[in-house]
Structure 1
Amino acid sequence: MKKYFLYLGLIMFSLLGTELTDFCLGVWVLKQPNPSITSYSFIWFFEEAPAVLLAPFIGSLVDRWSKKKMIIYGQVVAGIGTLILMLLYNSGELKPWHIMIVSGIGSIASMFVFTAFYVATTALVPKSKLVNAQGISLGLFGLINVGVPMAAPALYRLMGMDKVFLIDIVTFSVAILVFFMIQFVVVEKTEEKFNMKNDWKLVKGFLVERQGLIKLLAFFFIIHFLIGLVQVLFTPLILDFADEYAVSTIMTIVSLGMIVGALIMGGVKKFKKPIQKIMFANIFAGILIACLWTSVNTYGLAILGMSIIILFTISDVINEAFYLAIAPVKLIGRLGGFEELLVGAAGPLAFLLSGVLVDTLKNMVTAFPKTVVNYFPGTSVTLAIIIVFTVSGVLLFLISLWFSRTKSIKNLDLMYDIEMDKSSQKNNEDKIKKENQNIDKEKEVAFANTLD
């Protein structure tokens, strides 16, 4: 797994610069005169929507093209976008809509990078270690999410937005240069001609043969929508009653949840019933989200937020490892692409609606009794966001509970166990075959020595 750690480290180093830029740009937008939550949420929408819409197309190309080239070219395109934003900022012409356009292009480039690496994981990590590998991957991402909120406000205040852009360009450049220099692992790819219609038939056939997967996709679409509402509104909630340093503190503590969740999954030796564990994690997450209204302060949001992230991290690690375990290598890119379109669309939809929803609710809550309005810090924005959080949490709990009792969902755990047994048997056969080859070589050497 040494190569896996090398590739992962390079991609995460590049991502560090991107996350710093995204955090500081979010603060910059919210600090503009007459800031709009809608404008802020629209940027989140454009950071995901284009990639989601093109995900099947990207997945099909990933299954057919060089994974190394896709990782390099994707980072080059994203780096050019950062350079454009830096030039606009330095000339005093940067506007939110510029960020939306560049974010959209960057999201497509990043989808190529991460999909190519996701597929390459199958050639780097044995199936029995996939959960651990995904845990380590999210653990590093968690470290970035801890470090960025700590460093970004200071960099933004002391160095300025232009220097943050420069850091982003440097991290991209280093990662690209090293990827050019190293020898990339050979990943199995399909030789079929590019045909989106045939690709859809293959993916559809794979899903239909395993009907529980269709329900699982429906489950994750609903869950990602509800999580998306919470995710995009968390920073505006804090900034409504505190400053960017409070955001830094809370987001740092919250991000620790990703590291804790990743460490838990990275240390797992044997894993059973992955889908039921996903359901249970989301059930508990729903309860915690519904209870966020009880602690609308720096410490309460930090602790509850960290607990929620632990559960979501566990859920994500299991889900990604599950698909890598059950899907044929040649189909992983296309399956992931169509899954991203069907499920990933929920996130941008939540981002698109969240700002409008809060801007509408904040006018309505002024009619609430003063005892309710004054219970929460900040303005009517805080109360509006808390209403969205509470409803989302209750729905997350109920939906996860219902899906956990569905027979076809439970059958997916049996499918996973069968695939893992096949993988274990194949590994044993390969091991025996290798040992027999070594014995044959030893016999040949011994015979040759006898002749001498």
Structure 2
Amino acid sequence: MGKFIALALGLLASILGSAFTGLAMGAWVFQHTGSATQYAVTLVINLLPGIVFGPLAGVLVDRWNRRTILMVSELVSAATVLALVLLYDAGVLATWHIFLVVGVQSLVRAMQLPALSSVVVLLAPKDQVARANGFVMLAQALGNTVGFAAGGVLLVAIRLDGVLLVDFATFLVNVAIIALVRIPRPPRSETAAAAESGGLFAELRVGWQVLGTRRALRALLAFSAALNLSLGFADAMLTPLVLSFASAAALGLVVASMGVGAIGGSSALAAWGGPRRRVVGLAGFALPLGLFLCVGAFRPSVPLIIVAALGFTFCFTITDGTTRNILQLEVEPDVQGRVFATYNVVSGAALAVAYVLAGPVADKVFEPMLRPGGSLADSVGAVIGVGPGRGMAFLMLVIGAAMLVTAVVAFVRPSIRALPDRPVRARPEPENGEETGATSEARAGRAAE
């Protein structure tokens, strides 16, 4: 576990630096173009290349040495950041340079994230995998909160080139830590051997085959896609909903509460490991997700939304960590790169669809219904209010209800209820890490107890 904690500390340094840069680059684009559309393009480029490249990235992760992938990913990111510093200092930095760097880093993350997810089960004992995921998610939560907050301060204090140099230094720190951590190669499984004999296209299909042909994992993927679709709508609606009745300062408090919730959820996972019963970690924590969305939308109240946002992100972190823990322990380690890449593609696609649909659905359908004189003004409007933003609030209520239904369906599905309990007793682990989380081995270990 010590090796993994060292790796997590290096990851934290890298994520913090990337958070500084992410905020700074987005701010630079908006300040120099004055265009919200250009800023939105930055967000799309940050997401889309990784989704497209994801399946191939998973194949490469399983083929190549994972430590090499993590080190090269950090070095490529460092090189792109250093290039921006040189362009900025030369006075020739342009918007398209930012777009190019954001796109390259999106491709790098498509390699890095499945590699990191598959490394967890190679370095942490089986009974500590859930806690190890908590450490990874805590690093990400700290980056998305402390990192973004500090990024704004640093941008003012040391300008864009200074922020980029800080990020460059964090990449080098992480590379040094990765170089000192030995990551064992996973044992070869029949699934991987069969795919490799069929060529590249057969390997590309492995992630889909594993998730699509194993009943429990198929149900898990559908559950996660449904949650991410709802999450995308909620994420897209949060800012305009708050600003429809409150100030930008109030929005800052809401966003900060989300960060606190994510840190709390990941800290709980790191210390506790999550519920022993997998169905509780999934459906049990999805139930309050829907309830918190409904609570936040019920009244135009900043304190109410702050409580809802904090509770929502806390519960979502537990659910997401449980999902990843299941994949790490129930999938053969030498195909986890492809499986996690496929899982990330499905999750990212669900979010992207929600981002695209949320605005038009809110503006064209829900907002008109809850304007004064609208079709639902005298019914739904009598409960949640009428006027600007209340249509978006009603959309949030619908999303919350959808999450509740998703959670109930997951609770009653035999395939999800049959998922084995999380390991809680320490068992001897071989030094080379070859005993990992394949389903048959995990079940054999539990039976032996």
Give TM-score, length-normalised by structure 2: 0.80
Partner of 2:223: 219
Partner of 1:412: 419
5+ residue gaps, structure 1: 429-452
- CA 1:151 to 1:269, structure 2 compared with 1: closer, same or farther past 3 Å? closer
CA distance, structure 1, for counterparts of residue 422 and residue 318 of structure 2:
20
Give, in angstroms, the shift of residue 327 of structure 1. 1.0
Structure 2 residue 393 is the aligned partner of structure 1 residue 386: yes
CA distance, structure 1, for counterparts of residue 25 and residue 300 of structure 2:
25
Partner of 2:49: 50
Give, in angstroms, the shift of residue 136 of structure 1. 2.1
Give, in angstroms, the shift of residue 94 of structure 1. 3.9
CA distance, structure 2, for counterparts of residue 295 and residue 342 of structure 1:
33
What is the correspondence of 1:337-348 to structure 2 with a 5 Å cutoff?
337-348=341-352
CA distance, structure 1, for counterparts of residue 391 and residue 81 of structure 2:
34
- More displaced stretch, 70-79 vs 162-171: 162-171
Identity of counterpart residues, as a percentage?
A: 20
The one-letter amino acid of 2:129's match is L
CA deviations on 1:395-447 (whole Å, 9 max, x unpaired) are 22222222322223323347999864423567x7xxxxxxxxxxxxxxxxxxx
What is the correspondence of 1:138-287 to structure 2 with a 5 Å cutoff?
138-180=137-179, 182-188=180-186, 190=188, 193=196, 195-200=199-204, 202-207=206-211, 209-235=213-239, 237-238=241-242, 246-268=250-272, 271-287=275-291
Partner of 2:444: 422
5+ residue gaps, structure 2: 424-438
Partner of 1:22: 22
Give, in angstroms, the shift of residue 289 of structure 1. 1.1
Larger radius of gyration: 1
Give, in angstroms, the shift of residue 81 of structure 1. 3.4
- CA 1:45 to 1:387, structure 2 compared with 1: closer, same or farther past 3 Å? farther
Structure 2 residue 397 is the aligned partner of structure 1 residue 400: no
- CA 1:119 to 1:33, structure 2 compared with 1: closer, same or farther past 3 Å? closer
Give, in angstroms, the shift of residue 331 of structure 1. 1.6
SS at match of 2:18: helix
- CA 1:204 to 1:115, structure 2 compared with 1: closer, same or farther past 3 Å? closer
- CA 1:238 to 1:414, structure 2 compared with 1: closer, same or farther past 3 Å? closer
CA distance, structure 2, for counterparts of residue 173 and residue 295 of structure 1:
48
CA distance, structure 1, for counterparts of residue 260 and residue 325 of structure 2:
22
Partner of residue 306 from structure 2, selected from 302, 322, 333: 302
- More displaced stretch, 231-240 vs 412-421: 412-421
CA deviations on 1:279-308 (whole Å, 9 max, x unpaired) are 121121012112222354543332211100
- CA 1:149 to 1:387, structure 2 compared with 1: closer, same or farther past 3 Å? farther
Tell me if the contact between 2:59 and 2:337 (Cα under 8 Å) persists in the aligned partners: yes
Tell me if the contact between 2:120 and 2:133 (Cα under 8 Å) persists in the aligned partners: no
SS at match of 2:418: helix
The one-letter amino acid of 1:411's match is A
What is the correspondence of 1:81-96 to structure 2 with a 5 Å cutoff?
81-86=80-85, 91=91, 94-95=94-95
CA distance, structure 1, for counterparts of residue 275 and residue 111 of structure 2:
30
Partner of 1:445: none
Give, in angstroms, the shift of residue 116 of structure 1. 1.6
CA distance, structure 2, for counterparts of residue 281 and residue 61 of structure 1:
34
CA distance, structure 1, for counterparts of residue 88 and residue 368 of structure 2:
37
CA distance, structure 2, for counterparts of residue 9 and residue 158 of structure 1:
26
- CA 1:70 to 1:235, structure 2 compared with 1: closer, same or farther past 3 Å? farther
- CA 1:93 to 1:141, structure 2 compared with 1: closer, same or farther past 3 Å? closer
- CA 1:297 to 1:420, structure 2 compared with 1: closer, same or farther past 3 Å? same
Structure 2 residue 12 is the aligned partner of structure 1 residue 5: no
Tell me if the contact between 1:149 and 1:248 (Cα under 8 Å) persists in the aligned partners: no
Give, in angstroms, the shift of residue 260 of structure 1. 1.7
- More displaced stretch, 360-369 vs 244-253: 360-369
CA distance, structure 1, for counterparts of residue 358 and residue 218 of structure 2:
27
CA distance, structure 2, for counterparts of residue 198 and residue 258 of structure 1:
37
Structure 2 residue 80 is the aligned partner of structure 1 residue 76: no
CA distance, structure 2, for counterparts of residue 177 and residue 103 of structure 1:
24
CA distance, structure 1, for counterparts of residue 103 and residue 272 of structure 2:
37
SS at match of 1:63: helix
The one-letter amino acid of 1:282's match is A
CA distance, structure 2, for counterparts of residue 329 and residue 338 of structure 1:
15
The one-letter amino acid of 1:396's match is M
The one-letter amino acid of 2:118's match is V
Partner of 1:441: none
SS at match of 1:403: helix
- CA 1:271 to 1:233, structure 2 compared with 1: closer, same or farther past 3 Å? closer
Give, in angstroms, the shift of residue 269 of structure 1. 6.6
Give TM-score, length-normalised by structure 1: 0.79
The one-letter amino acid of 2:102's match is S
SS at match of 1:140: helix
SS at match of 1:412: coil
Structural RMSD (CA): 3.6
The one-letter amino acid of 2:3's match is K
CA deviations on 1:123-168 (whole Å, 9 max, x unpaired) are 2111111111112221232233331343233334444444333322
Partner of 2:66: 67
What is the correspondence of 1:369-380 to structure 2 with a 5 Å cutoff?
369=373, 380=388
CA deviations on 1:198-229 (whole Å, 9 max, x unpaired) are 22554455445522321221221121111122
The one-letter amino acid of 1:10's match is G
